[in-house]
Amino acid sequence: MKFRCEREILAEALTTAGRAATSRTGTLPVLSGVRLDVAGGELTVTGTDLELTIRLTVPVHSDTDGSAVVPARLISDIVRALPAGAVEISLGDDEMAISAGRSQFSVRPLSLSDYPAQVEPDADAVTLQSSEVADALRQVVRAASTDDARAVLTGVLIAADDDGLKMVATDSYRLAVRDLPQSSMLGAGQKVLVPGRALAELQRILSGDDELRVRLGAREAVFEAGETRLTTRLIEGEYPNYRNLLPSAYPNLLTVGRDALLEALRRVKILAQDSTPVRLTLGGDTLQLTAITQDVGNAHEEIDASYDGAEMTVAFNPDYLASGIDAVEGDEVTLATMDPMKPAVLRGVGHDEYLYLLMPVRVP
């Protein structure tokens, strides 16, 4: 195998595929590598940890076709450190040579025969608008759990709805729900549970491509954008009935400028140390934000707002609250509450397709 490729193109391909390569000890050593396949003037780079696979193809100037597996992080670091211009890679009997300008490296490849075979998807493809999907992922994936102790909560529920799709994620402290009307990739009543990690990687891949092709199998999902393909195993299990958390009506409604709230919260958070919640005092024509950390200090800020309901003080995890405000769209947001101990719902004014539900924190 021998080929040449522009450094920036090669580095981006290695980094993207390398994000699927495993860094966990105790797994197959070959899974810490990326597979390089050169054929017909194209380089295909593949990374996998058996749960998630990312594969992409870039054009190269090839002299000799061939395949090899090399340590993912090492080759990515090497290529990014090389001077700008063309990078030449050639495979010898027991080492791979990497050079550009006056820089030369050699890396011992991993076992090609141990690298898992890639299965081609057999399901029919459904085409979606990538910009809308990327926006939905940005809003929803943030609420998925990262704790493997409850595997179903690390996934994003994608379910067929009356006139499109619904995406749902929760870590039991917050819940994000996004409707995608006129988008369809599931049959009536069908639902799948896709790992949040895979969808976070898909969100990165989707920048700039006009179409996303989706293939859903019985145990895996395949997403294709441009020359990049992401394959992930689906999560098995029953997703919690999130609809029970959503009351049909809320008696108290706060409306406030999104940017003003986000900036005020950012400042008050400085004093919300050691998991200290931020208190929101609701009432009148202002919103008061307060953080008090024992033996450290306190912060207080007041911003203009409109409020319809009973006066109350409700407290939230400041990071979760900031994440929800960041996720909603529009110039203004609403915070709908029942009482200081019931879940509250954030929405963007004029953007009813998305909601972010947040559990309050008990404070003395």
Structure-token match 């369809």, residue found? 184
Instruction: Give the chain's mean pLDDT.
Output: 93
| Distances from the Cα of 80 to the Cα of 11, 43, 46, angstroms | 6, 17, 18
- Consecutive H or E run containing 128: strand 126-129
Sign for the pseudo-dihedral over CA of 10, 15, 19, 24: positive
Does 257 lie in the same domain as 223?
Answer: no
Does 220 lie in the same domain as 303?
Answer: no
CA distance 303 to 200: 34
| Chain segment 137-178, per-residue pLDDT in tens | 999 999 999 998 899 999 999 988 877 889 999 999 999 999
Does 133 lie in the same domain as 235?
Answer: yes
- Does residue 332 fall inside a structural domain? yes
- Does residue 121 fall inside a structural domain? no
CA distance 330 to 356: 14
| Chain segment 258-314, per-residue pLDDT in tens | 999 999 999 999 998 888 999 999 998 999 999 998 889 999 999 999 999 999 999
CA distance 246 to 252: 15
- Does residue 54 fall inside a structural domain? yes
CA distance 270 to 80: 36
Listed residues 226, 244, 262: the one ending a domain: 244
* SS3 label, residue 249: coil
Phi, psi of 213 (to 5 degrees): -100, 130
CA distance 246 to 73: 44
- Does residue 210 fall inside a structural domain? yes
Listed residues 221, 244, 267: the one ending a domain: 244
Examine the pLDDT at 25 and tell me if it is beyond 70.
no
Listed residues 78, 107, 136: the one ending a domain: 107
Q: How confident is the model at residue 364 (pLDDT cuts 50, 70, 90)?
A: confident
**What residues contact residue 107 under an 8 Å CB cut-off, 6+ apart?**
70, 71, 74, 75, 78, 95, 96, 98
Examine the pLDDT at 324 and tell me if it is beyond 90.
yes
Q: How many domains does the chain have?
A: 3
pTM: 0.91
| Distances from the Cα of 291 to the Cα of 174, 263, 271, 275, angstroms | 20, 14, 6, 11
CA distance 168 to 137: 10
Examine the pLDDT at 4 and tell me if it is beyond 80.
yes
Does 315 lie in the same domain as 235?
Answer: no
- Does residue 118 fall inside a structural domain? no
Whether 257 contacts 237, CB under 8 Å: no
Does 214 lie in the same domain as 183?
Answer: yes
Look up the domain containing 293 and give its range.
246-358
Does 167 lie in the same domain as 140?
Answer: yes
CA nearest neighbour of 277 among 325, 324, 313? 313
CA distance 353 to 10: 39
Could you tell me how far CA 243 lies from the centroid of its own chain?
23
Does 215 lie in the same domain as 136?
Answer: yes
- Does residue 117 fall inside a structural domain? no
Does 64 lie in the same domain as 133?
Answer: no
pLDDT for the residue 183: 74
CA distance 199 to 204: 9
- Does residue 113 fall inside a structural domain? no
Does 234 lie in the same domain as 130?
Answer: yes
- Does residue 112 fall inside a structural domain? no
* Across 139-143, 171-175, 180-184, 215-219, least confident range: 180-184
CA distance 21 to 24: 9
CA distance 1 to 69: 12
Does 133 lie in the same domain as 40?
Answer: no
Does 227 lie in the same domain as 134?
Answer: yes
Q: Which residue type does 123 have?
A: A
Does 351 lie in the same domain as 252?
Answer: yes
- Consecutive H or E run containing 279: strand 278-283
Question: Which CATH number belongs to the domain containing residue 33 in this structure?
Answer: 3.10.150.10
**What residues contact residue 5 under an 8 Å CB cut-off, 6+ apart?**
43, 58, 59, 60, 61, 86, 87, 89
